[in-house]
Chains A and B, each alone.
Chain A
Amino acid sequence: MSTSLYPLASLPQIEKTPSREDGIPGDLEEDLRAYGCKLIHEAGILLKQKQVAVATAQILFQRFWFATSMKQFGIGDIGMGALYLASKLEECPVRIRDLVNVYDLLLQRKAHIRAQAVASSLASTSSSTPSWSELKYTPMSYFGNTFYDLKEAVVVAEMQILKRLGFNLTVVLPYNTLVNYLRVLGLTSREDVCTKAWGYLNDAPSVEARLQTPVYALYSVPTIVCAAILLTTRHLGIALPSAPENCWWELFDAEWEDLSSVCGWIMRLYRERSLEDHTRVMGMVAKKGVRQWLEEHRSVGGEVR
Chain B
Amino acid sequence: MDAVEKANADRQKRWAKDQKIGEGTYAVVYRGRELATGRKVAIKKIKVGQFKDGLDMSAIREVKYLRELKHQNVIELLDVFSSKKNLNLVLEFLDTDLELVIRDRSLVFLPADIKSWMAMTFRGLEFCHRNFILHRDLKPNNLLIAANGHLKLADFGLARDFADPGYKMTCQVITRWYRPPELLFGCRYYSTAVDIWSVGCIFAELMLRIPYLPGESDMDQLKTIFRALGTPTEEDWPGHTKLPDYVPVGQFQKTPFRDLFSAASPECLNLLSKCLIYEPRRRISAREALYHPYFTSHPHPTHPSKLPKPADKTSATLPLEELDGNAEPNGNGPGVKANPPNKLKRKLSSDELSGGGRSIARKLDFTQQRQTVQ
User: Does B bind A?
Assistant: yes
Q: Which of A68-104 contact B (CB under 8 A)?
A: 68-69, 72, 84-85, 88-89, 91, 93, 96
CB neighbours (8 Å) of A5 from chain B are 68
A270 interface residue (CB < 8 Å to B) = no
A96 to B53, CA, bound (A): 7
8 Å CB interface, B59-90 against A: 60, 63-64, 67-68, 80, 82, 85, 87
Q: How far is the CA of A280 from the CA of B80 in the complex (A)?
A: 38
Query: Is the pair A162, B2 in contact by a Cβ cutoff of 8 Å?
Result: no
Once bound together, how far apart are the Cα atoms of A5 and B64, in whole Å? 12
- Please count how many residues in chain B sit with their CB below 8 Å of the partner chain's CB atoms: 24
Chain A residues with Cβ under 8 A from B318's Cβ?
none
Q: Give the nearest-CB partner of B85 in chain A.
A: A159
B4 touches A167 (CB 8 A): no
* B160 adjacent to chain A (CB < 8 Å): yes
Closest chain B residue to A90, Cβ basis? B161
Which residues of B from 147 to 163 have beta carbons under 8 Å from A?
Answer: 160-161, 163
Whether A91 pairs with B163 at a CB distance below 8 angstroms is: yes
Which residues on B sit within 8 Å (CB–CB) of A91?
160-161, 163, 169
* A268: interface (CB < 8 Å): no
Task: With both chains docked as a complex, state the minimum distance between the C-beta of B135 and any C-beta of chain A, in angstroms.
Answer: 15
Contact B48 A167 (CB under 8 A): no
State whether the Cβ of A155 lies closer than 8 Å to any Cβ in chain B. Answer: yes
Check if A234 is an interface residue, CB within 8 A of chain B. no
Q: Which of B8, B57, B163 contacts A93 (CB 8 A)?
A: B57
> Does chain B have a CB within 8 A of A261?
no
Residues from chain A with a CB closer than 8 A to the CB of B51 are 155
Chain A residue contacts of B67, Cβ below 8 A: 167-170
Interface of B, secondary structure class, is: mixed
A-B pair number, CB within 8 angstroms: 60
Shortest Cβ distance from residue B325 to the other chain A in the assembled complex, whole angstroms: 30
Q: Does B263 lie at the interface of the complex (its beta carbon under 8 Å from any beta carbon of A)? A: no
Are B4 and A68 in contact, CB atoms less than 8 angstroms apart? yes
For A159, give its contact among B4, B57, B64, B82 (CB under 8 Å).
B82
Given the known inter-chain contacts A68-B4, A163-B4, please indicate yes or no for A169 contacting B55, CB distance below 8 A. no
Which residue of B4, B54, B82 contacts A84 across the interface (Cβ within 8 Å)?
B54
What is the chain A residue whose CB lies nearest that of B53?
A96
**A163 and B82 within 8 A (CB):** yes
**A295 → chain B, closest Cβ, in Å?**
20
CB pair A166–B7 under 8 Å, yes or no, is yes
- Digit string of A252-292 for contact with B (CB within 8 Å is 1, else 0)? 00000000000000000000000000000000000000000
The residue that A169 contacts in the complex, of B64, B82, B160, B169, with Cβ under 8 A, is B64
Contacting pair A166 B80 (CB below 8 A): yes
Are B4 and A164 within 8 A (Cβ)? Answer: yes
* Contacts known (A67-B4, A159-B48, A159-B82); A169 close to B57, Cβ less than 8 A: no
What residues of B have a CB within 8 angstroms of the CB of A169 in the complex? 60, 63-64, 67
Return chain A residues, CB-CB under 8 Å to B63.
162, 167, 169
Closest chain-B Cβ to A72's Cβ sits at a distance in Å of 8
CA distance A91 to B3 in the complex (A): 31
Give, as a whole number of angstroms, the nearest-CB distance from A78 to chain B.
Answer: 14
- A18 contacts across to B, CB distance below 8 A: 2-3
- Docked complex Cα distance between A88 and B160 (Å): 11
1/0 per residue, CB under 8 A from A, across B209-252: the answer is: 00000000000000000000000000000000000000000000
Please indicate the chain B residues that have their CB under 8 angstroms from the CB of A85 in the complex. 54-55, 60
A254 CB to closest chain B CB, in angstroms? 25
**A168 to chain B: which residues have CB within 8 Å?**
67
Q: Is A154 an interface residue (CB 8 A)?
A: yes
Q: Are B80 and A88 in contact (CB under 8 A)?
A: no
By beta carbon, the residue of chain B nearest A152 is B51
Write out, one digit per residue, whether chain A residues 3-32 have a CB within 8 A of any chain B CB (1) or not (0): 001000000000000100000000000000
Q: Given contacts A159-B48, A159-B87, A167-B67, are A89 and B60 in contact (CB under 8 A)?
A: yes
Are A68 and B87 in contact, with the CB atoms below 8 A?
no
Q: A159-B87, A163-B82 are in contact. Are A170 and B68 (CB under 8 A)?
A: yes
- Binary contact track A50-80/B, C-beta < 8 Å → 1, others 0: 0000000000000000011100100000000
- Give Cα A68–Cα B1 distance, bound, in whole angstroms: 12
How far is B117's CA from A229's CA once the two chains are assembled, in angstroms? 49
Q: Which residues of B contact A88 (CB under 8 A)?
A: 54-55, 57, 60
User: Which B residue's beta carbon lies closest to that of A154?
Assistant: B54
The smallest beta-carbon distance between B21 and chain A, in angstroms, is 23
Give Cα A255 to B343, complex, Å.
65
Residues of B within 8 A of A155 (CB): 51, 53-54
Instruction: Assess whether A167 is in contact with B163, with CB atoms less than 8 Å apart.
Output: no
> With an 8 A cutoff between CB atoms, is A158 at the interface?
yes
On chain B, the residues within 8 Å of A159 by CB distance are: 48, 54-55, 82, 85, 87
1/0 contact string of A141-158 vs chain B (CB within 8 Å): 000000000000011001
Chain B residues within 8 Å of A69, by CB: 2
Which chain A residues border B82 with CB–CB below 8 Å? 159, 162-163
CB distance from B282 to the nearest CB of A (A): 27
Given contacts A163-B87, A169-B63, 16 further A-B contacts (CB under 8 A): A72-B2, A85-B54, A88-B54, A88-B55, A88-B57, A89-B64, A91-B161, A96-B54, A158-B55, A162-B55, A162-B87, A163-B8, A166-B80, A167-B67, A170-B64, A170-B67
8 tightest Cβ-Cβ pairs between the two chains A and B:
A167-B80, A155-B54, A158-B54, A163-B82, A164-B4, A169-B64, A96-B53, A88-B60
Partner-B contacts on A (CB < 8 A): 5, 18, 67-69, 72, 84-85, 88-89, 91, 93, 96, 154-155, 158-159, 162-164, 166-170
Chosen A-B contacts, 24 in total, with CB atoms closer than 8 Å, are A67-B3, A68-B2, A68-B4, A84-B54, A85-B60, A88-B54, A88-B57, A91-B160, A155-B54, A159-B54, A159-B85, A159-B87, A163-B4, A163-B8, A163-B82, A163-B87, A166-B80, A167-B63, A167-B67, A168-B67, A169-B63, A169-B64, A170-B67, A170-B68
